[in-house]
Structure 1
């Protein structure tokens, strides 16, 4: 059961379960050339180079669990989530770099490290995806400069979608050019992960959502998680160094995730 001591990995767990439940299907995709270049999604969020935020994660329920944390990122390089449930004392840390992951649990004096390939046999999870879901950004799962995306438009939304072998991704951008929703659907339509961004606040020339709601549905797991931003600062120097105490025990990422579910 998730508690204050291991809520540090709740969002991480949601992502892992989604991609574990996705089954790769080779798609016969019809090539569609876009009439207009995908300027909006290519440029979305480009004003942000670094970010520091004081936040609160909440697991809804009859007895909601909430924990405070800080998030720091150098965009397209690395990000760190520091969990500080009591008086600013760090109890856990998640460090995501371009090609590696470090998870530190100070409560149990354990840590896990590895690559994104350790998380799912489908090898779908990436740094760019985690960064996008946490910080209201877009990402290209095909890593092809968004050329595979197909756009549509109505009076309220611009929708940009792309299909890869295991899931579809859709970004919904409103007429104010705010990214309001990101949806990942498995191609077999049995699992989905949705992120809703609300409470946009203007910080000089940057508009940023102060609330994000994550919802996961899969055949074996259902979960919701809310992220509330208390304070955020952009484009200042950030410290992203993570050190592991020598006395800590190393475990595998799969062991750490298994312990969370139990």
Structure 2
């Protein structure tokens, strides 16, 4: 079976799971073509989905859903009745409407969603002082990723004829839109705190073309706060303000403790 593996991974968590998925699919004697659509330029290229018998997507969760830039990109695809699966990565706070939202999008684009999964990874905002799941994904997560791949493959081949069917969520898309707007206002943007070599890596690697290397900071309204620029800066001069205050507010609002947040388990939804 020829399978397309398409993922968006600004800081590497999703790419780690994608590698496990790809290796397991190959072990199961499949041909896998991989597309890393993190760079803006890669999302401008047309992917010929017709060559694949099935598609696996991999995305991080931002503000309780797949990133808006990815949700918009998915609307350019035509599923043509093709079986698909989606795995998410997140830092342990909340998956929100991610699974419901992606099912709605893919169904509307004429994909058949047969499985989803969520994998815990170190939180991006650990770069801003948080300490969430710093050693994740770990070997246990990777084993769950292998199991997810096998179970998904069985559904691709009709050995298992099930499809994903979620219970209705009590959270509305409108409510999550408000949460996204509110959180984005509260989260600072990266900045350059000292002189650098002007290599342009930050600007070239920004997934949404928001970064301005000359000014040392991104456009605030366009920036998605993925912190890819901070992670990839070879000079180490791009930073983000300490966000411990925001972390405490989130814990208070959700009534989660550090112990709960750091004991999240990756899981498969079938």
TM-score (ref. length: structure 2)? 0.24
Query: Greater strand share, 1 or 2?
Result: 1
TM-score (ref. length: structure 1)? 0.25
Query: Greater helix share, 1 or 2?
Result: 2
Higher relative contact order (CA 8 A, sep 6+): 1
